[in-house]
Amino acid sequence: MATLTTADGQLVSYVDHGGDGPAVVLLHSFLMDVTMWAPQVAAFGDRYRLIAIDERGHGDTPATGPFDHWDVARDALAVLDALDVPRAAVIGTSQGGFAALRVALLAPGRVTALALLGTSGEPEDEQVAAAYDQLAEVWIAQGPESVIEAVAKICLGDYDPADWTPKWSAVEPARLRLIMSALVSREGVLDQVGAIDVPALVLHGTADLAYPFAKAEALVAALPQAEPLVLVDGGAHFLSLTHAGDVNPHLERFLGATL
What would the pLDDT profile of 126-148 be if each residue is shown by its tens digit? 999 999 999 999 999 999 999 99
Average pLDDT, stretch 235-254? 98
pLDDT at residue 41 is higher than 90: yes
Mean pLDDT of all residues in 174-191: 97
> What is the average per-residue pLDDT within 235-258?
98
7 within some domain? yes
Write down the pLDDT at residue 237.
98
Calpha distance 111→155 (Å, rounded)? 27
- The total number of structural domains that make up the chain: 1
Does 204 map to a domain?
A: yes
Quick one: average pLDDT of 55-73?
Answer: 97
- Could you tell me the CATH number of the domain that includes residue 25? 3.40.50.1820
94 occurs within a structural domain: yes
pLDDT of residue 212: 95
CA 35 distance to own-chain centroid: 12
How large a percentage of the chain has pLDDT more than 90?
A: 98
The verdict on residue 205 lying in a domain is: yes
Q: What does the pLDDT look like over 19-37, one tens digit per residue? A: 789 999 999 999 999 999 9
Look at residues 204, 256, 258 and name the one whose alpha carbon lies nearest to residue 232.
204
Residue 19: per-residue pLDDT: 79
For 94-107, b/e burial (b = at least 16 CB within 10 A) is bbbbbbbbbbbbee
Is 176 part of any domain?
A: no
42: left (phi over 0), alpha (psi -120 to 50) or beta: alpha
- Greatest Cα pair distance, the chain, in angstroms, is 49
Domain-located, residue 251: yes
Does the residue 162 lie in any domain? no
Mean pLDDT, range 194-222, rounded to an integer: 97
Q: What whole-number distance in Å separates Cα of residue 232 and Cα of residue 122?
A: 21
**Mean pLDDT in residue range 200-222:** 97
In this structure, is residue 175 part of a structural domain? no
Which structural domain range is residue 49 located in? 2-124+187-258
For residue 137, list its beta bridge partners.
none
* pLDDT at res. 176: 97
- pLDDT attached to residue 191: 97
The confidence score (pLDDT) of residue 20 equals 82
